[in-house]
Amino acid sequence: MLSRRGGPDDGAPAASSSGASTALASRAASPAASASTPSAAPRAPTARPTPTPTRPAATPRAAPAHRLVLTARGTSWFQVKRGTEVLGLGTLKKGASRTFTGAGSYDVVLGNAGNVLVDTGSGPAPAGRAGVSDVFSFVVR
């Protein structure tokens, strides 16, 4: 049985009967007693970083794509170039057509140009006068 307990002010040990000090010591060592007094600071849950979406690197803009359609109303010849590269060269027979698509400009030369309809996206138009044997040269940009 406890008769007197020493406090922090008097510096005296707690007075007790012979069995009381043993009971207090065993309670302090019990798991229930140690659970109520934390021995170390609690660990915070580890936060996982949220993935940040990445944007693809900016790519330089390509030159606008062009579409060129040559349709023959009669026999004619043609040459289509992009820079120094020849994209098409040959003869178009009545009713035949050739389509060229891609970026950059086209250098076009037509023989018997009146026999060719040219379409660059705004509808077909004759490249020259029908029945006249002429050569027509133009650039599509």
Contact yes or no for 75/111 (Cβ under 8 A): no
Bridge partners of residue 4, in order along the sequence: 15
Digits of tens for pLDDT over the chain (141 positions)? 444 454 555 554 544 444 444 444 444 444 554 455 555 666 766 767 776 667 666 666 666 678 999 999 999 999 999 999 999 999 999 999 999 999 889 999 999 999 999 999 899 999 988 777 788 888 988
- In terms of Cα–Cα distance, which of 132, 124, 116, 133 is closest to 72? 116
What pLDDT does 61 receive? 65
- Can you give the pTM of this predicted structure? 0.55
CA distances from 97 to 7, 20, 74, 79, 90 (A): 109, 112, 11, 13, 11
Burial class for 79, CB neighbours closer than 10 Å (0-12, 13-18, 19+): middle
- In terms of Cα–Cα distance, which of 109, 27, 26 is closest to 70? 109
What pLDDT does 100 receive? 95
Q: What is the residue extent of each domain of the chain?
A: 65-140
CA distances from 108 to 12, 27, 80, 116 (A): 112, 102, 5, 12
C-alpha to C-alpha distance for 3 and 93, rounded to whole angstroms: 125
